[in-house]
Amino acid sequence: MANYDTDDPNGLSGFLSGRSKISLDLFDHFINEYQKLAPITLHPAKTMIGVGNPHKRIAWITQFGKNFVHVVFPFDRPYEDNLCFQKIAQVPGQQQFNHHFRMLQKEDVNDEVREFMKKAWNQD
């Protein structure tokens, strides 16, 4: 496990404790790919890990399965024309559309996903 920029190292290690090797490898790969694009900070919470830029949370790692990692990207509009999101859902009463990405293998973080990762980092 790499040493990540986080506001709660103990919370992060506790959250990741007991996860499968496959999901930990996928998590490492996702975070490393994000760090190649822009500086991020991890914010562990009780049920998920926030991924933040210097201004706000730009993604949430919401699930660790035995063989996957599930990430939610919040955007202010739906990006329907894509091949990477399994679901797009509007948050009731808000102009927020959660885009659900399930990573099953390292190759799932492809050019299309990287573009959405950049878009999430750059939004106000």
Residue 4 lies in a domain: no
Residue 3 covered by a domain: no
Compute the Cα dihedral for 64, 70, 15, 32 and give only its sign.
positive
Backbone φ, ψ for residue 43 (5° rounding): -125, 90
- For residue 21, the model assigns a pLDDT of 97
pLDDT confidence bin for 3, thresholds 50/70/90: confident
User: Does residue 103 contact residue 112 with C-beta atoms inside 8 Å?
Assistant: no
User: Tell me, what's the pLDDT at 117?
Assistant: 98
How many domains, in total, are found in the chain? 1
Check pLDDT > 90 for residue 65.
Answer: yes
Across the chain, the runs of DSSP E, i.e. the strands, are 41-44, 49-52, 57-64, 69-75, 87-90, 97-103
- Measured CA to CA in angstroms, residue 64 lies from 21, 42, 76, 107 at distances of 11, 15, 25, 17
**Residue 75 included in any domain:** yes
List the domain range (segments joined by +) for residue 64: 9-122
CATH number at residue 24: 3.30.1460
- pLDDT tens track for 70-103: 999 999 999 999 999 999 999 999 999 999 999 9
Q: Is residue 97 part of a domain?
A: yes
